[in-house]
Amino acid sequence: MIKARIHFPAGFLWGTATSSHQVEGSQPDNDWSLWEQEEGRILHGHRAGLACDWWSGRWQEDLDRAAADGHNAHRLSLSWSRIEPEQGQWDENALHIYRNIIAGVRARGLTPMVTLHHFTNPRWVMDAGGWHNPEICKWFEAFTRKVVDRIGDLVSLWVTINEPNVYAFGAYLEGIFPPGEKNIRALPEVTEHLLRGHVAAYHAIHERYPQARVGLAHHYRSFRPMRRNSFLDASIASMKARFFNNLFPDAVADGVLSLFSRKAIPEAAGTQDFFGLNYYTRELSRFDLLHPASMLSLGEFAADAEVSPTGFIANEPAGMWEALAWAHRYRLPIYVTENGIEDDGDDLRRRYLARHIHQVWKAANMCWQVRGYFYWTLVDNFEWERGWTQRFGLYALDTRTQERTPRPSARFYTEICTANGLSSDVLREYAPGALEAIFPERGPDDLSG
């Protein structure tokens, strides 16, 4: 029986990721709170409600759990609408609460990574045109400066905007995020304003704290052709990758935004100190002449793929390696800022976690600059247009009582974090189905290496 162990580099960050709207609850002044009240916007009419009740103080017990579980980092976001509920009107109490939360992260021995924009906007921003309005870049910069002035001394790792590609496509093409537009012609100006907003925030942070490290959280989705020998399927997969995956990383690398045409934004070049990588799954793309609009929508999973209970994510660890190799091309330190799967039964999650962390180790073992991993998420939370139908948490949440219950995956992740690695013994206990893929048995005459 094989006994083996893999180790991560010293100082590697292990944690979980959360976002403000999904865990805090009770946000009357943001666009998502209004969106949830519109019929048909959220699956089954769900609303965030109290969410995980962080705004009332339950962040303390959840961060206690994270620290006790061996985590040494936590990624969280701030709500722009709490801090600036009306333009130019700053809520000092909200800033005080956020400062306490981040100080609490640090007091528990966790390194904070703070995200400034995670899908939500103040009501007044959306009333003024949202990300259509070029003035939003100045508004976002002012918000950033206020935040940095109040809490910048506590934070060295910043994410300006979470998944700008997902936000732009979800809000302005698919219409599943507010403002619910389905207008492909809106994408060029919206993506330009998101990019310029990031650039403004990047410089605002560095002006005050030059040693801070600032990046974006890029969502990578592996697109493969449905039919391997189909030129048309391969063309659709390549087009999706170019529009969805490469748009923002290329722009902050070389200062050119390439969507339907190329636009030079030279001030964007080099505005990323690390590469935040969000990866969940891969998909297969098919050319469909009868339904051309579907070519830009989500594809399908492989017939033999191990799929999550709601069919949202396939367990495709090879896609994580592909994502890391893609991120490595940009020659920056890499943090896996999100990776996870919804699985209320907590069986698939443990195999998923083991196989994906193994891919992260392979990249680190190649001496690539992989410096941290943040699992999505700590406690079950409100999953946007999917409401409460998906359970990503290491801890299960009863939304009626706010009771938290650790899943076996929480204990599994503790073993990984505290050991800064993964062993065959731990896999046998928590994810035996992943053992052979990570630590394959060798025969007595197997000298192939």
Let me know if residue 447 belongs to a domain.
Answer: no
pLDDT digits (tens, 9 = 90+) for 385-426: 999 999 999 999 999 999 999 999 999 999 999 999 999 999
Lowest mean pLDDT among 56-65, 144-153, 181-190, 284-293: 284-293
* Average of per-residue pLDDT across 359-376: 97
Q: Which two tokens stand for residue 250?
A: 């290329």
Residue 106 lies in a domain: yes
Residue 443 lies in a domain: no
* Share of residues in the chain with pLDDT > 90 (%): 92
Mean pLDDT value across residues 250-275: 97
CATH number for the domain harbouring residue 409: 3.20.20.80
Q: Report whether pLDDT(297) > 90.
A: no
Q: 396 with 407: CB under 8 angstroms?
A: yes
Q: pLDDT tens digits, residue range 222-232?
A: 999 999 899 99
Angle, vertex CA 278, rays to CA 272 and CA 282, nearest 5: 130
Residue 332 lies in a domain: yes
pLDDT at residue 289 is higher than 70? no
pLDDT, residue 224, reads 93
pLDDT at 448: 43
Number of domains in the chain: 1
Determine the pLDDT at residue 296. 59
Rounded to an integer, the average pLDDT of 8-15 is 98
**Mean pLDDT confidence for 9-36:** 96
Average the pLDDT over each of 112-116, 239-243, 310-314 and give the range with the smallest value.
Answer: 239-243
| Pair 187, 243: CB distance under 8 Å | no
Q: What is the average pLDDT across 297-305?
A: 85
Q: Is residue 121 part of a domain?
A: yes
Residue 163 lies in a domain: yes
Q: Band of the pLDDT at 449, cuts 50, 70, 90?
A: very low
* Predicted pLDDT of residue 432: 97
What integer pLDDT is reported at residue 439 of this predicted model?
97
Check pLDDT > 70 for residue 172: yes
Query: Strand pairing of 421-423 and 5-7?
Result: antiparallel
Is 80 part of a structural domain of the chain? yes
Of 32, 370, 321, 9, give the one whose Cα is nearest residue 170.
32
Is residue 152 domain-resident? yes
The domain of 190 spans 5-438
Q: Is the C-alpha dihedral spanning 395, 396, 399, 403 positive or negative?
A: negative
Tokens 């995200």 -> residue: 115
pLDDT band at 447 (very low <50, low <70, confident <90, very high): very low
The overall average pLDDT reported for the chain is: 95
* Phi (first) and psi of residue 304, to 5 degrees: -100, 10
pLDDT at 125 over 80: yes
How many angstroms separate the Cα of 98 from the Cα of each of 59, 74, 79, 105? 11, 14, 9, 11
Tell me, what's the pLDDT at 295? 56
Distance CA 295, CA 60 (A): 45
pTM summary value: 0.97
What mean pLDDT do residues 112-137 have? Answer: 98
Distance between CA 47 and CA 387 in Å, rounded?
7
Cβ–Cβ under 8 Å, residues 113 and 158: yes
When pLDDT is averaged across residues 289-310 and rounded to a whole number, the result is 77
> Distance (Å, rounded) from C-alpha 374 to C-alpha 335?
8
Query: How many other CB atoms are there within 10 angstroms of residue 269's CB atom?
Result: 15
**What mean pLDDT do residues 329-341 have?**
98
